Amino acid sequence: MDDRIVVSRDDCSGCETCIDLCPRDCFHLDPKNIAVYTSTRCRDCYHCIASCPEAAISHRDLPVEDFQLIADSLNPDYKDGDQTHSFLKSIRSTRNFLEKPIELEIMEKLIDVTRYSPTGHHSQNVELTLVSEPKTIQQLKDVSAETIVSFLKKIDNPFYRFLAHLVGKGKTIRKAQKTRHRFVRMLEGFQEGTDYLFHGAPAVVVFHSNKDGTTPGDNCNIAATYLSILANNYGLGTCFIGYLTYYAKYNPDIRDILKIPKDNQIYQVLIVGYPKHEFRTFVSRDQPKINLV
Ligand SMILES: Cc1cc2nc3c(=O)[nH]c(=O)nc-3n(C[C@H](O)[C@H](O)[C@H](O)COP(=O)(O)O)c2cc1C
């Protein structure tokens, strides 16, 4: 029997909020109009505890501090849609950084917030690797350069292209050829000492997850977005680094340097640091492509 969720019979008013909110129908009212938790289907979302108006529901094993009142942490006017809209519009990719380290307390908050991003089936399966050692960042750049060299060798080789075509990978190779100049630019940058991969950022955050888990890529992308938004709110800048995710697919050395567990895949990478420049204006963007049906 699952008795982790405890309803205080003295405090329950029978308002049915838990019954309405539980996504797994774990609650019902007993004949005395008291909520009863009976299910083994609980997915640990804790909507019941977070919403009970009488604070009648608790968790047997988890610390009460985890369930502190939201109102104690947030200003009453924090929900300002217009401000949030403008703030989100103002976030740009940062590719120029100050030589200023990120404070430990801020880094801890950035990591902490990823625990609260939604995950499919509440799987909570996002894992983070934080790289801030210059030596490790350099190793990643060196291995990325090797990856580009071997990659260019392949796409420039007519025999390899023919083979790829035979095994149904022709489209992938054609796409890679179209973007060849980007890889060449990055490689030349490495050779000349310009960092087109991490743009000189002091920290790289790698989001990975067990590839056989529930929605691992989506969960990593959402967690990275949470971290990015919070970082920008702390005055930091961020940029997604799809290139490293891409190189990691082809070169296992990247996983080894990052000590990524065997069954995990890298799904997202973010660079973080204090921006050297401020953006003064919003930017123009395509109109949304939206169908109203
Ligand atoms: C999934 C993803 C991968 C990206 N990969 C890179 C990258 O490897 N290097 C880079 O400099 N920017 C990368 N970007 C940043 C985009 O180029 C950038 O978001 C886009 O040009 C729009 O600019 P803005 O973010 O400043 O509005 C990536 C963005 C996303 C969403």
Q: Which among 92, 97, 140, 241 is the best mutation to test ligand 1's pocket, defined by most ligand atoms within 8 Å of the CB?
A: 241
Nearest residue (by CA) to ligand 1, atom 17, is: 93
Torsion, CA 18, CA 21, CA 27, CA 32, rounded to 10: 40
pLDDT at 1: 65
Determine the distance separating the centroid of ligand 1 and the alpha carbon of 112, expressed in angstroms: 24
Query: What's the CA gap between 259 and 271, in Å, rounded?
Result: 18
Nearest residue (by CA) to ligand 1, atom 9, is: 241
Determine the distance separating the centroid of ligand 1 and the alpha carbon of 241, expressed in angstroms: 7
Q: What is the mean pLDDT of the chain?
A: 95
Query: What's the CA gap between 272 and 9, in Å, rounded?
Result: 48
Nearest residue (by CA) to ligand 1, atom 29, is: 240
Distances 216 to 200, 213, 221 between C-alpha atoms, Å: 28, 6, 9
Determine the distance separating the centroid of ligand 1 and the alpha carbon of 95, expressed in angstroms: 10
Token pair for residue 153? 């060798």
Enumerate residues 6+ apart whose C-beta is below 8 A from 184: 152
The CATH T-level fold of domain 5-72 is Alpha-Beta Plaits (3.30.70)
**Is 195 a residue whose pLDDT tops 90?**
yes
**Is 67 a residue whose pLDDT tops 90?**
yes
DSSP letter for 93, please: B
Confidence of residue 2 (pLDDT cuts 50, 70, 90): confident
Q: Are 230 and 178 in contact (CB under 8 A)?
A: no
Query: What's the CA gap between 137 and 144, in Å, rounded?
Result: 11
Q: Which among 239, 268, 277 is the best mutation to test ligand 1's pocket, defined by most ligand atoms within 8 Å of the CB?
A: 239
Determine the distance separating the centroid of ligand 1 and the alpha carbon of 49, expressed in angstroms: 39
pLDDT at 206: 98
pLDDT digits (tens, 9 = 90+) for 160-179: 889 988 999 889 888 889 99
Confidence of residue 3 (pLDDT cuts 50, 70, 90): confident
Domain 86-293 has CATH 3.40.109.10: yes
Determine the distance separating the centroid of ligand 1 and the alpha carbon of 268, expressed in angstroms: 12
Greatest Cα-to-Cα distance within the chain, rounded to the nearest angstrom: 78
Length of the chain: 293
Query: Identity (one letter) of the amino acid at 109?
Result: K
pLDDT at 172: 86
4 Cα distance to chain centroid: 29
Nearest residue (by CA) to ligand 1, atom 6, is: 241
- List the chain domain ranges: 5-72, 86-293
**Is 13 a residue whose pLDDT tops 80?**
yes
- What lines the ligand 1 site, CB under 6 Å? 92-93, 95, 239-243
Please identify, by atom number, the ligand 1 atom nearest to the C-alpha of residue 283.
Answer: 27
**Residue 42: closest CA among 8, 6, 4:** 4
Q: Using DSSP bridges, classify how beta strands 264-273 and 237-240 pair: parallel, antiparallel or unpaired.
A: antiparallel
pLDDT digits (tens, 9 = 90+) for 103-122: 999 999 999 999 999 999 99
